[in-house]
Amino acid sequence: MDLIGELTVHVSDAAGAVGAILLRPPDARWLLVVAHGAGAGMRHPFMERIASELAAAGAATFRYQFPYMEQRRGRPDPPGVLTATVRAALAAAADAAPDLPLLAGGKSLGGRMTSLALSDPPRPGAPDVRLRVRGLVFFGFPLHAAGRPETKRAEHLDRVPMPMLFLQGTRDTLADLTLLRPLCERLGSRATLHVVETADHSFHVLKRSGTTDAEVLRELARTVASWADSLA
């Protein structure tokens, strides 16, 4: 039976604490610390379903809220607060399952903020959470705003030291593949790109694809598990 636990992550005195959910299957080989997207929290159906599929594939998950979502504010926190939350969640996850190697990442905004948090060394005296993270997983990296293709949002990825897995749909309006493919090539062996045909930014697929949204989530989870096992 999967272990399900609700926890609290203290971000800072100013930002307060946020909720988190640990889902750990008995055969877990990895723990993915996964952040939500801009408009939906850790209990969004996508987050619930991908956590369930990852558990079936042998990966535990540690989902958590950003402060603005915890406090039911519509506007995302400043980047400094978001990245501080990522680092706090990574530390809490490591304490919750110290025997499991860590992966980090998230859906859209959550993945980008995770990569920002891992792109630079910590402040003097602060622990370097990057030393605990084996790889970074993006469930739809938001490379640019819809209709405004550019790559500025990805400039910090050159400073990310660990392997990265990009899970992207061919209809994702926030990640033009003609820009993302060269970006991954530039990152070299650190980057792996897995493309889902006809999927949009939410990983909804067209009927003509011959597959279903549920099957796509299973594909994503199995891809993450297989990629993670290759890092060992």
Residue spans of the domains in the chain: they are 3-231
Selection from 117, 27, 104 nearest residue 62 by Cα: 104
- The pLDDT assigned to 74 comes to 85
- For strand 102-107 and strand 59-64, is the pairing parallel, antiparallel, or unpaired? unpaired
CA distance 95 to 132: 11
Decide if 107 contacts 46 (C-beta within 8 A).
yes
- The pLDDT assigned to 1 comes to 59
- The pLDDT assigned to 121 comes to 81
What's the CATH code, domain 3-231?
A: 3.40.50.1820
Pseudo-torsion of CA 156, 158, 159, 161, nearest 10°? 130
pLDDT averaged over 10-residue windows placed end to end, the chain, 232 residues: 84 96 96 96 96 97 97 93 96 95 98 96 78 95 94 95 97 97 97 97 93 96 97 84
- The partner residues of 18 in beta bridges, in order of sequence, read 9
Amino acid found at 72: R
- The pLDDT assigned to 2 comes to 65
Determine if the pTM surpasses 0.85.
yes
Residue whose tokens read 């290759």:
230
